[in-house]
Structure 1
């Protein structure tokens, strides 16, 4: 990875939903907005994050009803932020260190400006050229 700033690859679309939002409503919002996560709020305060994977693993797989279970009940409470000027390498290291797949991205004033996910990083071109072996398929 080249020295790419987090701001250059993060997702800028942030959807905020109150903690009392039901999971089926949150899933519909994710579908409609073509996103995989929402930031959960309690009044004006950020209180957690829920991903589409969280809905599946923490709720559906546990047999929780999506029409009565709230975001607050399954949200990840530890919100990890990184500055938008940090490098992607620093962000990946933070993800590894904290065992998370997403980071909230803030500006110098600690205002939320985006979300960086592993899929954002995976879409970056690699610095080493890929070579293929004759007669063999090249990985995509």
Structure 2
């Protein structure tokens, strides 16, 4: 195996430390509760699917964390790739593997950060104008 090989896996026991670290290295930490460790642990524990990307040496460089029923829908809540590794197709492969893991007939959806909209469009996702949110109240 080459040193620049990427290993993808379904990793239900991903640790909070590893997840928080890749969130920081990806830039996604600014929109996630990384300072609230019990909440991050609950996010991981209650996710239906966690797909990871690691370097050959085991370093975590990407994660796709989803909430899914494996029958009808899959909400890809977190797609994070280390900034130093972006542009190599890792995010797209994490998305592809997420879709493969949930199976045919399952709708995958996500909410994009404003700066990531063009990435998701280039990855073949379709914008949906009829999305609605309940947001936290201050």
Normalized per residue, the structure richer in helix is: 2
Q: Higher relative contact order by CA 8 Å / sep ≥ 6: 1 or 2? A: 1
- Please say which structure displays the higher CA radius of gyration: 1
Same fold (TM over 0.5): no
Q: How does the TM-score come out when normalised to structure 1?
A: 0.26
